């Protein structure tokens, strides 16, 4: 048998490397397949040649999130790095879970062995005293352990993590400002978690040191993905993850389940600090008001892209964690104010994605929440804006709007994606609103925006879910099965389908075709999160012929 050269073996083995795709990053790792990495582990045991090639690939991407035995795997991973720190230097992408929601029976090592591994880990690290002390105090709780593991990965580029509660050590370490003195938040009562005493019993000095801790600066870290909650309906205050804004190399930050509104915005510890390097911010399942958007755009003035997806009505508001007198009783979303903020502070934005569908289309009235009001209006002042995703209703209003799409779009716009805005009553949508919607887009094609090359229209196609209440699907039905006036029985649903659902090819009829533009219509399933199934959509794509 002829031995293959190392270069060929490397190409073969590289196909087995674990993958952490961006798609569905918010699904807590449940969709990931780790068979490739398991094969790499076995190859490491075959011979020295295979081990030399396979081991760096095995550790280049480390994923524990989503595994049933995540706590045990992470403990063993830490032990491996303590014994051979060189392996930690191989890691470029890591996905961890930094919460305590693990069954004790999964910790097959036993508590004594686990503590010994952690004690050994401290001996190998030269962490700043304040961070080291705090991590020692909290590694056994729902935070701190992931930070200890990542401290052994100085060259990591992508960090993906599920956190729970106030995961301060994790965020503090990734800030790369691990030497700074953290001031106490003067307003939020939970600021006690940020009140550390020095070894002499006094409170640490406030302020930020200009120095950085060189050994843990993470110079290659550019992409962080944070699932800030574990519960399917939970929410976390944005100030908890504030430390991440300090990272000078970070380019992309994605968060799931954060809140940027109300009195929580006054709890940021360093409100004047700015990050001039962050380029893209993705806020999924996020409550945010206009002041929250202004906070982001002023603190990250060089953002070129921002994506916001509001949650549905079943995700908790912050007031559900606080007193009845809290100012966080509701998240007030006034699109007039959003438009003003974008026009004033969004001059550098090239991409904007704002999806309001889930917040505005379900049971906001039933839950006594304020509906979305106003419109974004003109974005012509945003001279850099090239890619926009927004509902027509949010941008220019509904059927009575006096504005045309071309009135509010800048000449720089290249692609326009029109989200579903809300669920209309069936007759209104099919017989009136839907036709007017087409005419609005048709006029935009005729208006001849100079740089516009693609328009995508998202059509609601979930009629089959009406009246089919299923608590296991997190209340996806839109009619109340307990209300005889509101509930559609199966026979009525058949009528709905036959009378009010367009054939796919009728979504953009021939009379609306414009010379120089191609039309394509596809079905898609979008917006799946844990606890809520994906939504059926028809996507109409109008693309300029080249």
445 with 484: CB under 8 angstroms? no
For 25, the 3-state DSSP assignment is helix
The answer to whether 350 and 384 are in contact (CB under 8 A) is yes
Contacts of 336 (CB under 8 A, 6+ apart): 373, 374, 375, 377
Instruction: Compute CA distances 485 → 118, 296, 400, 429, whole Å.
Output: 61, 44, 29, 20
Convert the pLDDT of each residue in 6-49 to its tens digit.
899 999 999 999 989 888 888 878 778 888 888 999 999 999 99
| Model pLDDT for residues 391-431, shown as the tens digit of each residue | 999 999 987 778 999 999 999 999 999 998 876 555 555 56
- Token readout for 230 is 């574990």
Residues of the chain above pLDDT 70, percent: 74
* Predicted confidence (pLDDT) per residue in 296-321, tens digit: 999 999 999 999 999 987 888 886 54
- 3 state SS of 379: coil
456 near 543, Cβ under 8 Å? Answer: no
Q: What is the pLDDT of residue 213?
A: 36
Summarize the confidence of residues 512-520 as an average pLDDT. Answer: 94
Three-state helix/strand/coil letters over 496-527: HHHHHCCCHHHHCCHHHCCCCEEEEEEEEEEC
Q: Give residue limits of the domains in the chain.
A: 1-63
Confidence band (pLDDT; 50, 70, 90) for 134?
Answer: low
Q: Where are the beta strands (DSSP E) in 51-156?
A: 61-63, 93-98
151/139 Cα distance (integer angstroms): 13
DSSP 533: P
Mean pLDDT of 482-506: 54
pLDDT for 417: 98
Does residue 107 carry a pLDDT above 70? no
Q: Write down the pLDDT at residue 97.
A: 87
Instruction: Name the residue among 32, 23, 89 with its Cα closest to residue 284.
Output: 23
Written as six digits, the tokens of 165 are 């509660």
pLDDT above 90 coverage of the chain, percent: 43
């Amino acid at each position: 048998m002829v031995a293959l050269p190392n270069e060929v073996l490397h190409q073969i083995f590289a196909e087995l490397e674990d993958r952490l795709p961006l798609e569905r990053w918010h699904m807590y790792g449940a969709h990931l397949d780790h068979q490739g990495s398991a094969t790499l582990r076995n190859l490491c045991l075959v011979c020295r040649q295979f081990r030399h090639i396979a081991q760096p690939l095995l550790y280049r991407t480390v994923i524990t999130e989503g595994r049933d035995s995540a706590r045990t795997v992470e403990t063993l991973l830490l032990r491996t790095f303590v014994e051979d720190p060189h392996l930690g230097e191989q890691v470029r992408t890591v996905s961890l879970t930094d919460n305590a929601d693990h069954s004790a029976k999964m910790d097959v090592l036993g508590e004594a062995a686990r503590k010994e591994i952690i004690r050994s880990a401290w001996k190998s690290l030269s962490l700043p005293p304040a961070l080291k002390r705090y991590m020692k105090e909290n590694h056994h709780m729902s935070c701190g352990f992931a930070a200890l593991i990542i401290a052994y990965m100085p060259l990591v580029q992508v960090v993906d993590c599920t956190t729970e509660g106030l995961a301060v050590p994790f965020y503090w370490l990734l800030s790369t400002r691990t030497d700074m003195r953290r001031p106490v938040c003067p307003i939020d009562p939970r600021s006690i978690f940020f009140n550390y005493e020095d070894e002499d019993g006094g409170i640490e000095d406030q302020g930020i040191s200009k120095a950085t801790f060189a050994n843990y600066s993470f110079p290659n870290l550019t992409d962080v993905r944070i699932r800030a909650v574990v519960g399917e309906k939970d929410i976390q205050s944005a100030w908890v993850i504030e430390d991440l804004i300090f990272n000078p190399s970070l380019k992309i930050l994605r968060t799931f389940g954060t809140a940027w509104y109300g009195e929580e915005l006054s709890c940021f510890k360093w409100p004047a600090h700015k990050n001039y390097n962050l380029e893209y911010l993705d806020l999924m399942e996020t409550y945010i008001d206009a002041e929250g958007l202004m906070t982001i755009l002023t603190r990250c003035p060089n953002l070129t892209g921002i994506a916001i997806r509001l949650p549905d009505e079943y995700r908790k508001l912050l007031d559900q964690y606080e007193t009845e007198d809290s100012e966080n009783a509701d998240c007030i979303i006034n699109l007039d104010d959003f438009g003003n903020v974008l026009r004033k502070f969004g001059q550098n934005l090239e991409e904007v994605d704002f999806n309001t569908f889930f917040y505005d289309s379900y049971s906001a009235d039933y839950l006594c929440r304020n509906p979305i009001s106003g419109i974004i209006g003109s974005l012509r002042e945003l001279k850099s804006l090239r890619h926009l995703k927004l509902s027509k209703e949010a941008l220019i209003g509904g059927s009575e709007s006096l504005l045309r799409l071309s009135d509010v779009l800048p000449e720089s716009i290249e692609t326009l994606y029109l989200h579903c805005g809300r669920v209309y009553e069936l007759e209104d949508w099919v017989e009136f609103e839907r036709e007017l919607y087409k005419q609005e887009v048709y006029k935009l094609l005729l208006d001849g925006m100079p740089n516009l090359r693609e328009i995508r229209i998202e059509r609601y196609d979930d009629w089959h879910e009406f009246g089919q209440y299923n608590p296991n699907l997190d209340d996806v039905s839109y009619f109340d099965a307990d209300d005889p006036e509101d509930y559609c029985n199966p026979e009525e649903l058949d009528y709905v389908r036959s009378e009010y659902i367009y054939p796919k090819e009728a979504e953009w009829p021939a009379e609306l075709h414009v010379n120089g533009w191609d039309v394509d219509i596809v079905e898609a399933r979008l917006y799946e999160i844990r606890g809520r199934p994906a939504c059926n959509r028809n996507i109409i794509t109008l693309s300029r012929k080249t």
